[in-house]
């Protein structure tokens, strides 16, 4: 067991349930293809990290993903409660620094995750901002339940709202590099992830046309 833990939140890759905003433009099949590729990127970003990892699926554990990792199902009524419960599990099991990431970032790599863990050596909480106003990474060196309670999930003022609340406390806050996630068709076609994946382009263009 290491002192640090990386938690990955993954949606089960099921037609009609992933990237629903993107699906409004390119359809459920297109969104399915995009999210499948994003999960592969997340797997690659975490596979060589020399810290413990736990994979939390949205609905059911998938044996074919993240081989040889601890896997379970997210528990809670909303995203905040599910993240809070995952952090509680980690701290209860003796981890000192815990970073949680999602699985839909086209540009994430192991350095972003390691930077999050390193920032926790000097901070109580660390965020990796997303360009849409949310965050792709949250890390804690102690449990701060308020971060996950009564927040505007999936809204553009999520991180702003969270930071304003934290600034009223004595917590030390670290901020990492901002990354873009893919929620819309415009996000998709502007990304290097899409521009550099010819096979995905062909699939999406066939579906989109």
Instruction: Read off the pLDDT of residues 57-94 as tens digits, 9 standing for 90 and up.
Output: 999 998 877 777 899 999 999 999 999 999 999 999 99
Instruction: Please give the model's pTM, rounded to 2 decimal places.
Output: 0.93
Which CATH number fits the domain 4-208, given the four candidates 3.90.79.10, 3.30.70.100, 3.90.550.10, 3.80.10.10?
Answer: 3.90.550.10
pLDDT at 182: 85
Looking at residue 121, what DSSP letter applies? T
Q: What is the DSSP string of 10-62?
A: E----TTTSSHHHHHHHHHHHHHHHHHHHHHHHHHHHHT-SSEEEEEESSS--
Q: Extract the tokens encoding 109.
A: 């790599």
Domain ranges of the chain: 4-208
Q: How many CB atoms lie within 10 A of CB 45?
A: 21
The predicted-structure confidence for 29-49, as pLDDT tens digits, reads as follows 999 999 999 999 999 999 889
- Note the helical H segments in the chain: 20-47, 79-92, 110-119, 158-166, 185-190, 192-195, 198-208
Distance CA 208, CA 38 (A): 19
Which pLDDT belongs to residue 57? Answer: 95
For 62, the token pair is: 């998938």
12 closest CA partner among 60, 45, 46: 60
Going across the sheet that includes 70-73, the strands are 70-73, 52-57, 4-10, 97-101, 135-140, 125-129, 173-175
Report the C-alpha gap between 130 and 138 in whole angstroms. Answer: 11
pLDDT value for 109: 95
pLDDT given at position 207: 73
> Would you give the DSSP letter of residue 179?
B
Q: Which two tokens stand for residue 187?
A: 């996000």
User: What Rg do the C-alpha atoms of the chain give, in angstroms?
Assistant: 17
Paired sense of beta strands 70-73 and 125-129, if any = unpaired
pLDDT value for 208 = 63
- What is the per-residue pLDDT for 92? 97
Question: Of 118, 162, 125, nearest to 141 (Cα)?
Answer: 125
Residue-level pLDDT at 67: 79
* 147 vs 172: CA distance, rounded Å: 13
Dist CA 44 CA 160 (whole Å): 30
Residues of the chain with pLDDT under 50: none
Question: What is the reported pLDDT for 1?
Answer: 66
């Amino acid at each position: 067991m290491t002192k640090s833990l990386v938690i990955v939140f993954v949606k089960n890759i099921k037609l009609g349930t992933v990237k629903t905003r993107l699906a409004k433009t390119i359809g459920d099949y297109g969104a399915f293809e995009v999210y499948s590729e994003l999960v592969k990127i997340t797997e690659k970003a975490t596979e060589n990290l020399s810290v413990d990892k736990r994979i939390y699926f949205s609905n059911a554990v998938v044996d074919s993903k993240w081989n040889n990792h601890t896997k379970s199902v997210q528990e809670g009524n909303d995203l905040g409660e599910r993240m809070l419960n995952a952090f509680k599990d980690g701290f209860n099991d003796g981890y000192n620094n815990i970073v949680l990431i999602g699985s839909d970032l086209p540009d994430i790599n192991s350095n972003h995750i390691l930077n999050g863990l390193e920032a926790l050596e000097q901070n109580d909480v660390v965020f990796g901002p997303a360009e849409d106003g949310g965050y792709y990474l949250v890390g804690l060196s102690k449990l701060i339940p308020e971060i996950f309670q009564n927040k505007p999930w999936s809204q553009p003022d999520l991180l702003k709202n969270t930071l304003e609340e934290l600034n009223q406390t004595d917590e030390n806050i670290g901020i990492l590099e901002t990354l873009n996630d893919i929620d819309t068709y415009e996000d998709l076609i502007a990304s290097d992830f899409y521009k550099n994946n010819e096979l995905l382009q062909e699939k999406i263009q066939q579906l989109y046309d």
